[in-house]
Structure 1
Amino acid sequence: MIDFLATNLVARSAFLLLVFMLAVFLVIAVIRIATRRAVLRSGIKAIAQSQPSERSTRLQDHRDDGWTKLAAQIEKAGLNLADTKGDQLREKMIAAGFTSPAAPKLFTLARLVLVLLLPTIYVLLASAGGNELSFFRLYLFGSALALLGLYFPNLFVTARADRRREAITNGFPDCLDLMLVCVEAGLGLEAAMDRVGREMLHSHPLVSALLSGATLQLRAGAPRDEALRKMGDRSGVEEVRSFATLLIQSDKLGTSIGETLRVYADEMREKRRLRAEEKAHRLPVLISIPLVVCMLPTMVGVLMLPGAVRIVREMVPALTGGG
């Protein structure tokens, strides 16, 4: 490899360019981290010295928006990052936990970069290794890597959304139990959601974020049905949407919220128990696959090997006339 780089001018230039790009990237990353820490320190000092009514505004102003600025600068350069299915992509990004307005544009940018970057890396590595690149090979591997770069961000976002929905689904029954305790203790719905959201910050942070967001909307003056409906839409979980609809109906009909929470909490715990039983019943089927693939050939070989050895030693010479 070193001899090839020393003798081949193109490979040496490509390698030096790659090293230079990595060094520039590391320097820029270190500078950005140092600048960000300095900005955060100044922002914290300003927040500590400000009045309580101004702190929320200052926190919003000092929020990290580097990705948003990056997307805006790329679009100003003439590259349109808007997707034809912008609304569906926006819902998918929110379901995966990417709530920034620039998340769909950054998703499109990531796909574009990977489509160009992966085939380029393959060409550079193949050239550096001294392998001759035929047109068929270049077309086959380049197309495969481009398709991988095109669909990998989509798979990543889908997997992240599935994990997020699973975490919310598993943590929501505990949230209902705590809300039931708070409501029966005399707290209102808004106060109960705020209290439970603060209590579940470490145990179930996704559920806590949903409750805190709905509480902030209620404090900002949004109608209760609108805040609850948006909470269900942000979660992407059908159980949370049903819970929001149930609370809206209970509020409009004047029924007891405590009784509603008790019934729905029992139902959610029952669903969680059924999901656990379903996973437990799937285990024997899943275990049989590695059993058949890995252990069964070994057992068959161990049982049949002595007989095969005896056949080779006794019957084969007799059949060939050597016995």
Structure 2
Amino acid sequence: MRFHNALTVIIALTFLGVSLVLCFIAVRGAIRENSRVERRLAGGARLDEDADVGIGAKSRAKRNLISQLGAHLTLPDAKEITRLRFMLAQAGYFDRSTVKTFLAARVIFLFGPAMICLLMWGSIAAKLGTKPAILICFSLAGLGLLGPERFLKWKAGKRTDQCRKGFPDMMDLMTACVEAGLGMDAALIRVGHELGGRYPALKENLDIMNLELRAGRERNEAMINFADRINLDEAKALAVMLKQAEEMGSSVGKALRTFSEDMRHKRMMKAEEKAAALSAKLTVPLILFIFPTIMVMLMLPAGIRIMEGLAG
């Protein structure tokens, strides 16, 4: 009993100490940020050039503690930061501070459920025992560590599905705009406006691509970034096709129409393949679930009669 009490105290003090340190770091970062903004306002200095678009001094002064905590937890590895930023962009989070917020949220979800378990340790340990309670705490901590990244992948998958559904409509609109005489940049802007109501994820990525083009980035590079964000093979093929059409001097309108028809044909073939494979996929559940049920229904009356005959 003494061992259990000592173990409980050690675990509680460990999580409490880590949580207090993290909270101290967050509060210190917020105080420093507020002081820096106040000095700039007093001196009449403008914001940094790398500040987020549309974020003024007052909004920067009110930045939440989660983002401040993440500023101290940013990984030193540039490749890991790039990977996280790309994953967040696929999930629809394009702000510059999203990486810091994500890292802070991962730490909070790591220690938050465990702290709740520690606060309720008496009732949990009394009902389940010490070892199951410890296992629950570490399981919740593991879920908190992996949960935010799983959530991003789930949201990125939903946005990819939405972009996949809207991509044929985007191609039809782009083809119509180019054949009507609009330039490629103007066609992309018009398509983004037309798709905003039905496919907001596709519109957001098109708007980002248009902003990249306005900033001076080459169209091929902007199209490749667009394809990477929505994670569609058709978009990557579109970027390659447009680059080849511009280099060879062929008609972009005809190339877009041919590409659109070929893409729809490939999608129809994939749908037919899935429909043809459906019967084979149904074989396993048919054997495992339906046939045993039918056999029970057929053999149950005979079994009951046999049991009655043996009993009589």
Q: TM-score, normalised by structure 1?
A: 0.69
- Contact kept in structure 1, 2:70 and 2:102, CA below 8 Å: no
1:272 match: 267
- Contact kept in structure 2, 1:83 and 1:108, CA below 8 Å: no
Q: Distance in 1 between matches of 2:223 and 2:61?
A: 31
Q: CA deviation at 1:285?
A: 5.0
1:94 match: 89
- Contact kept in structure 1, 2:205 and 2:226, CA below 8 Å: yes
Q: CA deviation at 1:176?
A: 0.8
For 1:145, give the aligned amino acid: L
For 2:252, give the aligned amino acid: I
Q: CA deviation at 1:105?
A: 2.0
Q: CA deviation at 1:164?
A: 1.6
1:80 match: 73
1:254 match: 249
Q: Distance in 1 between matches of 2:239 and 2:150?
A: 29
User: Secondary structure of 2:261's partner?
Assistant: helix
Q: Distance in 1 between matches of 2:62 and 2:166?
A: 30
1:199 match: 194
User: Secondary structure of 1:196's partner?
Assistant: helix
Gaps of 5+ in 1: 1-58, 318-322
Gaps of 5+ in 2: 1-52
2:228 to 228, 233, 243: 233
Q: CA deviation at 1:80?
A: 2.0
1:136 match: 131
For 1:153, give the aligned amino acid: P
Equivalent residues in 2 for 1:12-51 (5 A)? none
Q: Distance in 2 between matches of 1:227 and 1:181?
A: 21
Structure 1 167/113 Cα, relative in aligned 2: closer, same or farther at 3 Å? same
Q: Distance in 1 between matches of 2:277 and 2:271?
A: 10
Q: Distance in 1 between matches of 2:113 and 2:231?
A: 32
For 1:186, give the aligned amino acid: G
1:106 maps onto 2:101 in alignment? yes
User: Secondary structure of 2:190's partner?
Assistant: helix
Q: Distance in 2 between matches of 1:124 and 1:166?
A: 41
2:34 match: none
For 2:249, give the aligned amino acid: G
2:144 match: 149
- Contact kept in structure 2, 1:168 and 1:207, CA below 8 Å: yes
Q: Distance in 1 between matches of 2:175 and 2:125?
A: 69
Q: CA deviation at 1:178?
A: 1.1
Structure 1 234/306 Cα, relative in aligned 2: closer, same or farther at 3 Å? closer
Worse-superposed segment, 177-186 or 236-245: 236-245
1:242 match: 237
- Contact kept in structure 2, 1:168 and 1:235, CA below 8 Å: yes
1:210 to 205, 209, 232: 205
2:38 match: none
2:54 to 32, 56, 60: 60
Give the alignment's Cα RMSD to 1 decimal.
3.1
Summarize deviations over 1:99-146 as a string: whole Å, max 9, x none. 122222222222211221223333444534672564422332222221
User: Secondary structure of 1:182's partner?
Assistant: helix
Structure 1 232/150 Cα, relative in aligned 2: closer, same or farther at 3 Å? same
2:154 match: 159
Q: Distance in 2 between matches of 1:216 and 1:301?
A: 65
